[in-house]
Amino acid sequence: MSSTVQEKDPFKEKRKIKAVQKMKEIMTAYYIEAKTPTQQTGKKIAWITSGGPVEPLIVMDVIPVYPENYGAMIGASKMGVDLCEKAEEMGYARDLCSYARADIASATINGGPIGGLPKPDMLICCNNICGTVMKWYEVQARYFNVPLFILDTPICHREYSKEIKAYVEQQILEYIRFLETVCGKPFDYDRMQEVGALSIRGQRLWQDILDTTLHKPAPMTCFDAFFFLALIVTLRGKQEVVDYYEMLLAEMKARIAAGIGMLPNEKYRLLWDNLPIWYKTRWLSEKFAAHDASLVADTYTSGWCSSLQYVDENNFLGSLAESYTRIFLNTGTDEMAKRIIEMADKYQVNGLVLHSNRSCKPYSLGQYDIQRIVQEQRGLPTLMIEADMVDERNFSESQIETRIDAFIEMLK
C-alpha cells in the first residue's frame, strides 16, 4: 500500500492516511469473529462471491466470508504462487483464475496469511461477475459438502430484459427460502429494510470517498482505494462500515482543505481498469508516483457503488434483483467503454491504464476494443499492462517498467 511508508520523512508522514490503522483493526476483528468456532458465536458461516447479495445474510445473522477478499490477501502477502502451484498439483490448469486456484488449494491445507478461512455452512454464488465463480463454488460444494445457492444473474449485453427481471426476482425469493431452510428460522423482513438502509448509506459514502479525488491534487489514489475497499465488500449492510467510512471521508475532506495530496507533485491524472495486481501494488504505486502520475480513479473499486441508481430505498429487497444484475462487469463491452469514458471525463484524467488480467476473462477480453473506443472518442493515451492479480509468474517486471516509463514519456 502506498500509505505504509517506512522512513520518517515529515512530508511523507503528513501524506499518510491516518485511518489506515483503524481499518486494519476492523478487518482483524472481523476475521477473528469469523474464525471463532460456531458453537461460541452461534452464527453460521456463508462463503459468498464479491458481487453477491450479502444483505440477506446479515439479516439472518450469518457471517459472510469472501474467498475473493482472501485471494487478494494471499496475493498481497505474496503467497499466491505457492498456492497456485499446489492447485496445479491437484490437477487445476495453470490458466484458471488465480483467486480460485489459491482458494481451492488453501482450503485443503489451511493456507494463506491467516491460516485458511473458516469452514462454510453454506455457499452463495452470484455469477454477475463471471462464470468462473460458479465452477469454483461447485468445487467447494463438493469439498465441504454443504448447500450451494447459485443466484443466476444473466448478462445484460444490451438490456435488462423483462425476462431477466422476472427470472432474477423469482430467484431472490428462492434465496430467502434457501436461507430460511439452512438457518432454520424465518426471514425478518423489517430487519431487511434496516440492513438495506445501512448498505445504501455505506455505498453512498464509498462513492463520496472515491469522489474526493475529483479535487486536484487527489487526497488518495486507487492504490489506497484498493485497501479501503475491503469494508464495503465484506461488511456491506453493517453499521461499522458507515461509521468507518464517515471517519475516512472526514479525513479526506480535511486533506483537501489542507491541500494535502497523496503525491507531492500531481502532474498526471490516470484511470485504472481491472483488478489490482495485488503482489505489486506497492511497486506500481511507487513507480507511478516517481513519475508524478496519480491514479485518481479505477473501474474496480467503483464497482461496489456502480448500481446505486437501481436500488430502491423504500423497497430494498424488491430492487435487489436489478441492483445485483446491472453491475459494471455484467454489461456489454461497449457499455463498459461508455462508463470508462464517463469516468475519464469526470475525474479529468490524462490517460488510461488497463491491466490485462489473465485470471479474469470477463473483465479483460474486450479491453483492446475499449482501448480503441477511448482513443477514438477522447484521444486519451492508453497503457496496457499484461499481468495477473495473484499469480506472480505472469508478471514481467522489467517489461512492465519499460511500458510505464515509455507511457509517461509519451504523455510529456
**16 or 361: CB nearest other proteins:** 361
What's the min distance (Å) between Cβ of 82 and other proteins? Answer: 18
Of 197 and 384, nearer to other proteins (C-beta) is 384
Cβ closer to other proteins: 69 or 364?
Answer: 364
Is the Cβ of residue 209 or residue 349 nearer to other proteins in the bound state?
349
Task: Rank residues 136 and 223 by Cβ distance to other proteins and give the closer one.
Answer: 136
Q: How far is the CB of 325 from other proteins (least distance, A)?
A: 11
Residue 231 C-beta: closest distance to other proteins, Å: 28
The binding site for other proteins (CB under 8 A) comprises: 90-93, 95-97, 100, 127, 130-132, 134-136, 138-139, 141-142, 148, 150, 152, 154-155, 157-158, 161, 163-164, 166-167, 170-171, 174, 332-334, 356, 358, 361-362, 364-369, 371-372, 375, 381-382, 384, 386, 394-396, 398-399, 402-403, 405-406, 409-410
Query: What single-letter DSSP state applies at residue 123?
Result: E
**Cβ contacts of 103 within 8 Å, gap of 6 or more:** 67, 70, 71, 117, 136, 140
H or E segment and range at residue 227: helix 222-234
Least Å distance between CB 136 and other proteins? Answer: 7
- The least CB distance from residue 319 to other proteins, in Å, is 18
Q: What are the φ/ψ torsions at residue 202 (nearest 5 degrees)?
A: -60, -45
The dihedral built from the CA positions of residue 297, 329, 278 and 58, taken in this order, carries a sign that is positive
Q: Is 124 helix (H, G, I), strand (E, B) or coil?
A: strand
Beta-carbon contacts of residue 385 (< 8 Å; ≥ 6 apart): 277, 353, 354, 355, 356, 400, 403, 404
CB closer to other proteins out of 281 and 356: 356
Cell of 278: 495485488
Q: How far is the CB of 43 from other proteins (least distance, A)?
A: 25
Distance CA 65, CA 50 (A): 9
Residue 201 beta carbon to other proteins: minimum distance, rounded to whole angstroms: 31
CB 354 within 8 A of CB 383: yes
Which amino acid belongs to residue 129?
Answer: I
Q: Which is nearer to other proteins, 205 or 387 (CB)?
A: 387
CB of 44 to other proteins, least distance (A): 20
DSSP code per residue over 335-402: HHHHHHHHHHHHTT-SEEEEEEETT-HHHHTTHHHHHHHHHHHH---EEEEEE-SS-GGG--HHHHHH
Cα–Cα distance, 287 to 65 (Å, whole number): 33
In angstroms, give the least distance from the CB of 50 to other proteins: 16
Q: Are strands 148-151 and 122-126 parallel, antiparallel or unpaired?
A: parallel
174, 184, 185, 187 from 181: Cα distances, Å: 10, 5, 7, 10
Rounded to an integer, what distance in angstroms lies between the CA atom of residue 324 and that of residue 326?
6
Query: Strand order of the sheet with strand 122-126?
Result: 63-65, 45-48, 122-126, 148-151
Which of 58/141 has CB closer to other proteins? 141
- CA–CA separation, 260 and 253 (whole Å): 10
Query: Is the Cβ of residue 28 or residue 170 nearer to other proteins in the bound state?
Result: 170
Nearer to other proteins, 216 or 393 (CB): 393
CB of 224 to other proteins, least distance (A): 27
What is the dihedral angle through the alpha carbons of 170, 175, 177, 179, rounded to the nearest 10 degrees? Answer: -170
